[in-house]
Amino acid sequence: MIKKVERDTLNERVYEELRGAIVSGRFPPGTNLTLRGLAEIVGTSEMPVRDAVRRLVVERALESLPNRSVVVPILSEDAYREISEIRLRLETLATRYAAENLTEKDIKALRTNLKAMAASKTHSQYLKLNREFHFRIYEAARRPLLLSIIELLWVQTGPLLNVVELGAGKTEAHSHHSEVVKALAKGDADAAAKEIAADIEGAAVFIANWMKQQAS
């Protein structure tokens, strides 16, 4: 039993590390990966990596190739728009639930997060703080299944977000984030959900336009 627990724990750790690397943009869209290469990165044998890769393929964070390697998917504009539409519905729902549960401590943490985002110096740092901000809210919804589905969608878009230069999009996002916090502090679920929706929609338009420019 002890060995089984240790093995399962290792598999889960490897899975979380690879998933985190994908979300954080360590592997840009289109990157080819091998089990051997990934095993070297995480410092394990190929067995736990193989298990993690299977799970990530199911989650569409990776795609299998005929030569037994995997690739980080390149999202099409249509696929990105579809994910954004689903995110809008699920994340506004999570925000409504969260409004019932967030404490003063949570609100304070969100405000601190906002300040850190505004002061962030790098793109990767900003995206990390942005994810923490959103998931601090969604975790407060106390709906594990809903949270897990939202996480799957973020994993699929992570590599794309890390190659898009947000620029002016950050200013619009900061405005929506600030309004979300104000609404949640008042317990106004409708207003908070509306601002989350506006944040997702604004980012979707910005990134879709960027994708068109890259394709032209």
Show the domains of the chain with their CATH numbers. Answer: 2-71 (1.10.10.10), 77-215 (1.20.120.530)
Going by DSSP bridges, is the β-strand pair 70-71/32-33 parallel, antiparallel, or unpaired? antiparallel
pLDDT, one tens digit per residue, over 1-15 is: 334 435 568 889 999
For the ranges 6-10, 14-18, 159-163, which has the lowest average pLDDT?
A: 6-10
pLDDT, one tens digit per residue, over 28-57 is: 899 999 999 999 999 999 999 999 999 999
- Whole-Å CA distances, 122 to 17, 25, 134, 151: 21, 13, 19, 23
Percent of the chain with pLDDT over 70: 95
Percent of the chain with pLDDT over 90: 69
pLDDT, one tens digit per residue, over 119-141 is: 998 888 888 999 999 999 999 99
128 in Cβ contact with 154 (< 8 Å): no
